[in-house]
Amino acid sequence: MTQDQLVVDKIKAAYPDAIEEVVDFRGERTLIVQPDKLKAICYILRNNTDCQYDFLSDIVGDDYLPEFPRFAVSYHLYSIPKNHRLRLRVWVEDPDEGPETVGPVWPIATWLEMEVYDLMGIRFQGNGSLRRLFLPEDWQGHPLRKDYPLGYEEVQFSFNWQEIDAKKPYAKD
Amino acid sequence: MQLPSGGDTIQELTVEELRAKVGTGMEIEDAEEHLLLSMGPQHPSTHGVLRLLLELDGENVVNMAPDIGFLHTGVEKNMEAKTYTKALVMTDRLDYLSPMSNNLGYILAVEKLLGVEATPRAQAIRVILTELARVSSHLVWLGTHALDLAAMSVFLYCFREREYILDLFEMCSGQRMMVSYFRPGGLWRDIPEEFEPAVREFLNFMPARIADYEALTKRNPIWLARTKDIGVVDAATAVAWGMTGPSLRGSGVNWDIRKAQPYCGYEDYDFDVPVATEGDVYARYLCRMEEMKQSLRIIEQALNKLPKGPVNIDDRKIVPPPRAELGRSMEAVIHHFKLWTEGFSAPTGYVYQSVESPRGEFACYLRGDGGPKPARCHFRTPSYVHLASLPHMSKGRFVADVVSIIGSVDIVLGEIDR
């Protein structure tokens, strides 16, 4: 049995309907799972002796505007003992109520989720250290969203803040 | 909207706020006697514009919070507005010490998304150049790391050899640093004739130069005192905190992406992956020094069996036609025009491609939506991830050791802030 199939079986044994879809593209296996089962699945994948996904490579937020659900979060797992990569993916309907943090499973997740929050605005539940990381603390909006403009904006300084702010779309409501 | 609070004043953090930022919730006695120190952003030992908020008890680091974003340029957002080929130039600017590795990670992701593979000659040239970039990056690391630890002369020697490698880059790409040499489907153009003898010359003198650096540092008592038993990370912690590359292998985990999941034909080369078990600054130093020697081995093997043939794949929908063809063929003109105005379209789907950059796992997540521009491009940069483990390595150490620890994980702020 291949590692790909083994992982699916292990998850199905514990949570029969947690996997919504299995996607294979260019030799990469993606499991689209239910957001509320995500953390439990992560625990299985890390602790099960047949899986041993001990390394979390990356967490990526994705914006599918104008589709619904609009956001997706991908977790790129890697197993150093098994030399196998796996991607978990969840759909996020409401960015303010994003998936539960996987920080307790892999400590690095807390740090990676901070980046997703700062640039994509997905709030991971239970992650207490979400804050502005790259952008100033008073920044408005999340730049990697598709509805965030790319450039052509006047830079606001303290002396012309009000003047430029009045012209911005969000200020008028 | 009102002017943000504190918009025109510089906010000072209290110890409580700092602790909340770091998020450890440690209970410390007589915390009111602790000193808060802002190290950086303009500090020569932070290797760029990194700001570290240090909570100090006398000379000891109690807590630390990295403050980043001073170099944030929105690379990932910008890439969504460019075609796959044009977005390549953004990747040079991530890790500006080894642009070849970034190019490679991005280009391999694009090729994976398109479902094409480069020609054997292009792959061998890519291996030669990324390994040269690894040596040049490690030279900067060694030079600046030694400079931080008050060894001035190492820096000057390292930059002498790095200059030679940059000349090699200029020879083939026309650029010393921002090379953009690897293109989807192959290379910008074939390497010039004088490239091979120049690299052979480099392979000739480099082992002796590496021996020189080792003579300056390896058994130097000051060097040992500043690096041994400092910033110790055990294997399990290193994996849990996502450390990769020489920083992980210094902790005894034998994981190199070139060996584990080979790309560009790395499985055909005979090289060792240096591993040290101590997990301290000195172990990471040993790994990187040995890695330079192994890179020279790879370069030599790649040069010896450099295949003949084209450097670009024969697909005019991806690779533009050669200049000479434009005068003869109408079809070539059409392809040229389409590729440089609109670009090629990639299928719908997402891929993730990792490469072993000098700093660790550099990976590119790329999502195509059927159009000529990436719908989402994300970079997993090793320096950004390593920053998270910095507080763990530094706690309880002296401030002077923080400098040595930062140097040992080899961060580049360009790829942290992106």
Read off the pLDDT of residues A131-164 as tens digits, 9 standing for 90 and up.
Answer: 888 888 777 788 888 888 776 667 778 888 888 8
| Nearest CB to A57 within list B21, B376, B380 | B380
In this complex, is the C-beta atom of B384 within 8 Å of any C-beta atom belonging to chain A? yes
Q: Is the pLDDT of residue B14 over 80?
A: no
In this complex, is the C-beta atom of B370 within 8 Å of any C-beta atom belonging to chain A? no
Lowest mean pLDDT among B6-20, B148-162, B185-199, B295-309: B6-20
Q: Which of B 259-288 lie inside 8 A of A, CB atoms?
A: 260-261
Q: Which of B 283-342 lie inside 8 A of A, CB atoms?
A: none
Cα B115 from chain centroid (whole Å): 25
Residue B187: CB atoms within 10 Å? 24
Inter-CA distances, B60 with A114, B55, B400, B401, Å: 28, 8, 9, 10
Q: Which of A 80-119 lie inside 8 A of B, CB atoms?
A: 80, 83, 85, 87, 106-108, 110-112, 115, 119
pLDDT grade, residue B7 (50/70/90)? very low
**A103/A42 Cα distance (integer angstroms):** 10
Q: Please compute the mean of the pLDDT values over residues B297-324 and round it to a whole number.
A: 89
**Residue B392: per-residue pLDDT:** 85
Q: Please compute the mean of the pLDDT values over residues B114-132 and round it to a whole number.
A: 92
Contacts of A157 in chain B (CB under 8 A): none
> Using one digit for the tens of pLDDT, what is the confidence trace for B242-265?
899 998 999 989 999 998 899 988
Q: Is the pTM of this model over 0.80?
A: yes
Q: What is the identity of the amino acid at A2?
A: T
pLDDT grade, residue B8 (50/70/90)? very low
Q: Please compute the mean of the pLDDT values over residues B299-306 and round it to a whole number.
A: 92
In this complex, is the C-beta atom of B199 within 8 Å of any C-beta atom belonging to chain A? no
Report the gap between the CA of A70 and the closest CA in chain B (Å).
14
Q: Is the pLDDT of residue A126 over 70?
A: yes
**Residue B363: per-residue pLDDT:** 92
Q: Is the pLDDT of residue B1 over 90?
A: no
Picking from B341, B382, B358, the residue whose alpha carbon sits closest to that of residue B133 is: B358
**B14/B107 Cα distance (integer angstroms):** 46
Report the gap between the CA of B8 and the closest CA in chain A (Å).
6
3-state secondary structure of B80: coil
> Using one digit for the tens of pLDDT, what is the confidence trace for A46-75?
888 888 888 999 999 999 888 888 899 999
| Nearest CB to A107 within list B77, B240, B384 | B240
> Using one digit for the tens of pLDDT, what is the confidence trace for B345-398?
999 999 999 999 999 899 999 999 888 999 999 999 999 999 888 888 888 888
3-state secondary structure of A94: coil
**B338/B171 Cα distance (integer angstroms):** 29
> Using one digit for the tens of pLDDT, what is the confidence trace for A61-111?
999 888 888 899 999 999 988 888 999 999 998 888 889 889 888 988 988
Q: Is the pLDDT of residue A169 over 60?
A: yes
In this complex, is the C-beta atom of A160 within 8 Å of any C-beta atom belonging to chain B? no
Alpha-carbon torsion (B376, A130, A58, B97), positive or negative = positive
CB contact under 8 A, A83 and B352: no
Picking from B233, B237, B253, the residue whose alpha carbon sits closest to that of residue B245 is: B253
**Residue B10: per-residue pLDDT:** 44
In this complex, is the C-beta atom of B115 within 8 Å of any C-beta atom belonging to chain A? yes
**Residue A138: per-residue pLDDT:** 77
Domain coordinates in residue numbering, chain A: 3-167
CB contact under 8 A, A140 and B1: yes
Q: Please compute the mean of the pLDDT values over residues B58-66 and round it to a whole number.
A: 84
Q: Is the pLDDT of residue A170 over 70?
A: no
pLDDT grade, residue B199 (50/70/90)? very high
Assigned fold of A3-167: Beta Polymerase; domain 2 (3.30.460)
Report the gap between the CA of B368 and the closest CA in chain A (Å).
11
Q: What does chain A come to in residues?
A: 173
**B319/B321 Cα distance (integer angstroms):** 6
* Average confidence score pLDDT of chain B: 86
**Residue B31: per-residue pLDDT:** 59
Q: Counting one residue from A and one from B, how many pairs have CB atoms under 8 Å apart?
A: 107
Cα B258 from chain centroid (whole Å): 15
Helix (H) or strand (E) holding B333: helix B330-341
Residue B361: CB atoms within 10 Å? 25
B37 strand-pairing partners: B54
Q: Return phi, psi of residue B74, to 5°.
A: 65, 40
**Residue B27: per-residue pLDDT:** 47
Query: Taking a C-beta distance cutoff of 8 angstroms, is the pair B289, B272 a contact?
Result: no
Q: Is the pLDDT of residue B40 over 80?
A: no
**Residue A173: per-residue pLDDT:** 47
| Nearest CB to B255 within list A28, A80, A162 | A80
**B277/B235 Cα distance (integer angstroms):** 8
CB contact under 8 A, B3 and A74: no
Q: Is the pLDDT of residue B22 over 60?
A: no
Give the percent of chain A with pLDDT over 90.
14
Contacts of B239 in chain A (CB under 8 A): 54-55, 80
pLDDT grade, residue B130 (50/70/90)? very high
Q: Is the pLDDT of residue B96 over 90?
A: no
Q: Is the pLDDT of residue B5 over 80?
A: no
CB contact under 8 A, B77 and A150: yes
pLDDT grade, residue B140 (50/70/90)? very high
| Nearest CB to B77 within list A30, A83, A144 | A144
Q: Is the pLDDT of residue B30 over 60?
A: no
Q: Please compute the mean of the pLDDT values over residues B98-120 and round it to a whole number.
A: 91
Contacts of B411 in chain A (CB under 8 A): none
Parallel, antiparallel, or unpaired for β B51-57 and B35-39?
antiparallel
**Residue B110: per-residue pLDDT:** 93
Q: Which residue of B has its CA nearest to A131?
A: B21
